[in-house]
């Protein structure tokens, strides 16, 4: 069952579009990574979901119920959610006071939740911090306290807005581990906004690539391997993006003319398209070889970049392709700048998306 | 020079022996100024809160006017209240002129702008994120305002102490509205003014020391509170 559904949601600030036509749904117990560059509207979307801000148009359905209009009714729904902001914020008082805030305003006695608070502090590496003045915590500690503060009321939906931005790697790791645990043990439904692709991919069941609108939503693997458009392709760091015109030659096979070369692809798209090939899907040989790969081109090595053990070769076959190679293979083949090589890749390795 | 030193010794004697007149004047001063501050706070803190939390046209101008009124001359407030509560004034039938009640009214008006202004300042000092945080953690609008007030509590206390400091040290309202009636409306500042002109400097110095001690206590409390 969907815990959250968003339909045709838009938000404008002073006639400037911040979010456009957002549609998404999130199943109970799943984690959605909201990924996009800084200023893409992630925070605004989370604030709207948390009912801190109102959208300019569109619907939000929480647990099968459309968000009511009155503030009094909205509180009931907001109290089923928890949010951690990007900037660590502390309330005056001790760590215990901070974590107990959500309980206090719900009229619950903090003392009854003593074990829960202790459990959360222990799990977040803050054992024994109860009586510490919250304003003396470091950024990483504050952010972990903020997680405990949001979780102590056992929210159905946890919203995390760049929870590890500006934190040191150790704090980041602790928070990521904890979020991982949440997914596994508590089955909490989570939306995590991040500009960090690796983090989003690592922590989420599904990711949505956002930049005012959602460009693609799906399982991380799909989004990374098969970006549906140029924005996603560039954002996820896909290399070898070329523009061309596609026409179908037979069922399940298209020929794409880039102007300088023609590339076989298993796409069904026709007309103006972009194509991309992951560098690791391209093989190199020193002579023409008989393989099952439909695409084979001859070219010259123009540039060699060392990116930490793996070499990134730029090979000009009419179009310049980026190809990854281990240092050992490179040495074994005795290659250098100016060497003539053959490139092979399968038609199914050519991802095609609309212009 | 000797006269001054002798007067100081005499003043200390008056303080150590807890001279009844000195004590009576001091207690009356504290009563009037504290009551004024409390009444002013009951009006000014909600008013400052209202101005801070609401968006309306002319807000900036209003805040500027309030800040200008910090330095309103005490004699001007005295005159204003005098006109209101004198027999011919709109509140003449309350017979507040030359009573502690009238003095309290005058001092309340005097410190209202300070407490209102510093309440606004105290609340502006609380980061906007605190409101978002409390809402996100499930607070109602009212609970969020409570939380902001709580975050600003030390600064708010500072505003009250400042108001009290202005009330206790002023002489204009106390003299014009109270009339400096012995045993009834005589307070520290009016006594000092009168006794000095009569040449009775020992009593003035003793009361001056008390006023300074009170100011010191106020400052110590303020410092303590702000360090928190």
Mean of all residue pLDDT scores within chain A: 91
Give residue-wise pLDDT tens across range B160-178.
999 999 999 999 999 999 9
d(CA B185, CA B168): 14
Give residue-wise pLDDT tens across range A264-288.
999 999 999 999 998 888 999 998 9
B154: nearest CA partner in chain A: A92
**Adjacency order of strands within the sheet including A81-84:** A81-84, A157-161, A189-194, A31-35, A206-211, A213-218
Residues of A in contact with B155 (CB under 8 A): none
pLDDT for B68: 95
pLDDT for A273: 92
Distance (Å) from the C-alpha of residue B139 to the closest C-alpha of chain A? 6
Distance (Å) from the C-alpha of residue A260 to the closest C-alpha of chain B? 55
Q: For the residues B64-69, what does the mean pLDDT come to?
A: 96
pLDDT band for position B67 (50/70/90)?
very high
Burial of A308 (0-12, 13-18, 19+ CB in 10 A): exposed
CB pairs under 8 A between A and B: 55
d(CA A189, CA A82): 11
B134 in contact with A at a CB cutoff of 8 Å?
yes
Give residue-wise pLDDT tens across range B176-199.
999 999 999 999 999 999 999 998
User: Is the Cα dihedral B12, B13, B18, B22 positive or negative?
Assistant: negative
Lowest mean pLDDT among A12-26, A217-231, A251-265: A217-231
> ∠ CA(B66), CA(B69), CA(B74), 5° rounding?
150
Q: For the residues A213-217, what does the mean pLDDT come to?
A: 94
Mutate to test the interface with B, among A79, A89, A113 (most CBs of B within 10 A): A89
Q: Report CB contact under 8 Å: A75, B140.
A: yes
pLDDT for A308: 74
Of chain A, the percentage scoring pLDDT greater than 90 comes to: 65
A83 in contact with B at a CB cutoff of 8 Å?
yes
- Those of residues 188-217 in B touching chain A at CB distance below 8 A are none
Give residue-wise pLDDT tens across range A307-345.
777 889 999 999 999 999 888 888 888 888 999 999 999
- Minimal Cβ distance to B135: which of A52, A106, A159: A52
**Closest C-alpha to A345, from A279, A293, A291, A276:** A293
Say which residues have a Cβ less than 8 Å from residue B43's Cβ, sequence separation at least 6.
B108, B112
Q: Which stretch of DSSP H or E encloses residue B3?
A: helix B2-16
Q: Report CB contact under 8 Å: B134, A105.
A: yes
d(CA A140, CA B163): 41
Residues of A in contact with B132 (CB under 8 A): 47, 52, 85
Judge whether residue B63 has pLDDT over 80.
Answer: yes
A91 in contact with B at a CB cutoff of 8 Å?
yes
Mutate to test the interface with B, among A79, A101, A136 (most CBs of B within 10 A): A101
- Minimal Cβ distance to A102: which of B129, B138, B140: B138
- Structure ipTM: 0.78
Q: Report CB contact under 8 Å: B151, A106.
A: no
A44 in contact with B at a CB cutoff of 8 Å?
no
pLDDT for A43: 94
The pair of three-digit structure tokens given for residue B82, joined into one six-digit string: 């005098």
pLDDT for A234: 83
Give residue-wise pLDDT tens across range A45-101.
999 999 999 999 999 999 999 999 898 899 999 999 999 999 889 999 999 999 999
Residues of B in contact with A91 (CB under 8 A): 130, 133-134, 147, 151
pLDDT for B11: 83
d(CA B166, CA A163): 47
Give residue-wise pLDDT tens across range A103-140.
999 999 877 888 999 999 999 999 999 999 999 999 99
Of chain B, the percentage scoring pLDDT greater than 70 comes to: 100
B138 in contact with A at a CB cutoff of 8 Å?
yes
pLDDT band for position A1 (50/70/90)?
confident
Give residue-wise pLDDT tens across range B82-140.
999 999 999 999 999 999 999 999 999 999 999 999 999 999 999 989 999 999 999 99
Contact A299, A340 (CB under 8 A): yes
d(CA B14, CA B208): 12
Q: For the residues A13-34, what does the mean pLDDT come to?
A: 94
| SS3 per-residue string spanning A175-218 | HHHHHHHHHHHHCCEEEEEECCHHHHHHHCCEEEEEECEEEEEE
Q: For the residues A235-243, what does the mean pLDDT come to?
A: 86
The single-letter DSSP state of residue A250 is E
pLDDT for A127: 94
Distance (Å) from the C-alpha of residue B37 to the closest C-alpha of chain A? 26
Judge whether residue B228 has pLDDT over 70.
Answer: no
- Minimal Cβ distance to A71: which of B130, B141, B151: B141
Give one DSSP letter per residue of B108-165, joined into a string. HHHHHHHHHHHHHHHHHTS-HHHHHHHHHTT--HHHHHHHHHHHTHHHHHHHHHHHHH
A72 in contact with B at a CB cutoff of 8 Å?
yes
Q: Report CB contact under 8 Å: B140, A101.
A: no
């Amino acid at each position: 069952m969907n815990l959250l559904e968003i339909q045709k949601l838009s938000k404008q600030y002073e006639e400037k579009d911040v979010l456009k036509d957002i549609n998404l749904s999130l199943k109970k117990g799943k984690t959605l990574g909201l990924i996009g560059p800084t200023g893409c509207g992630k925070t605004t979307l989370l604030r709207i979901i948390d009912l801190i801000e109102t959208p300019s148009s569109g619907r939000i359905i929480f647990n099968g119920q459309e968000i009511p209009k009155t503030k009094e009714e909205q509180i009931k729904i907001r109290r089923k959610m928890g949010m951690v902001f990007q900037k660590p914020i502390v309330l005056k008082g001790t760590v215990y006071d901070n974590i107990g805030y959500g309980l206090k305003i719900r009229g619950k006695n903090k003392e009854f939740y003593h074990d829960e608070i202790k459990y959360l502090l222990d799990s977040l590496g803050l054992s024994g911090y109860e009586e510490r003045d919250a304003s003396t915590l470091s950024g990483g500690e504050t952010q972990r306290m903020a997680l405990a503060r949001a979780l102590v009321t056992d929210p159905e939906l946890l919203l995390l807005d760049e929870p590890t931005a500006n934190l040191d790697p150790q704090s980041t790791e602790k928070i990521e581990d904890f979020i991982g645990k949440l997914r596994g043990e508590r089955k909490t439904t989570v939306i995590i906004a991040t500009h960090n692709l690796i983090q989003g991919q690592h922590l989420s069941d599904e990711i949505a690539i956002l930049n005012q609108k959602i460009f693609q939503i799906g399982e991380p693997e799909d989004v990374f391997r098969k970006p549906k458009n140029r924005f996603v392709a560039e954002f996820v760091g896909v290399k070898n993006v070329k523009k061309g015109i596609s026409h179908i030659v037979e069922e399940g096979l298209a020929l794409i003319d880039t102007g300088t070369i023609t590339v076989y692809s298993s796409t069904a798209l026709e007309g103006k398209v972009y194509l991309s090939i992951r560098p690791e899907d391209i093989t190199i040989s020193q002579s023409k070889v008989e393989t099952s790969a439909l695409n084979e081109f001859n070219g010259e090595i123009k540039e060699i970049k060392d990116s930490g053990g793996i070499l990134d070769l730029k090979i000009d076959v009419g179009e310049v392709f980026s190809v990854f190679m281990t240092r050992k293979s490179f040495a074994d083949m005795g290659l250098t700048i100016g060497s003539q090589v053959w490139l092979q890749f399968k038609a199914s390795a050519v991802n095609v998306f609309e212009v | 020079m000797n006269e001054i030193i002798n007067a100081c010794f005499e003043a200390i004697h008056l303080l150590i022996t807890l001279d009844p007149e000195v004590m009576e004047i001091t207690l009356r001063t504290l009563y009037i100024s504290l009551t004024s501050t409390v009444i002013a706070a009951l009006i000014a803190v909600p008013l400052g809160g209202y101005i801070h939390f609401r968006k309306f046209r002319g807000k900036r101008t209003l805040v500027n006017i309030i800040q200008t009124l910090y330095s309103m001359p005490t004699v001007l407030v005295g005159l204003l209240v005098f006109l209101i509560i004198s027999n011919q004034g709109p509140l003449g039938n309350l017979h507040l002129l030359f009573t502690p009640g009238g003095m309290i009214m005058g001092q309340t008006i005097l410190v209202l702008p300070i407490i209102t202004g510093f309440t606004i300042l105290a609340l502006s000092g609380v980061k906007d994120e605190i409101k978002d945080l409390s809402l996100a953690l499930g607070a109602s609008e009212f609970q969020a305002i409570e939380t902001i007030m709580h975050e600003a509590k030390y600064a708010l206390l500072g505003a009250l102490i400042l108001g009290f400091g202005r009330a206790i040290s002023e002489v204009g309202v106390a003299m014009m509205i109270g009339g400096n009636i012995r045993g009834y409306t005589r307070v520290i500042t009016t006594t000092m003014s009168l006794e000095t002109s009569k040449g009775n400097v020992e009593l003035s110095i003793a009361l001056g020391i008390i006023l300074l001690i009170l100011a010191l206590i106020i400052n110590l409390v303020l410092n303590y509170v702000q360090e928190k």
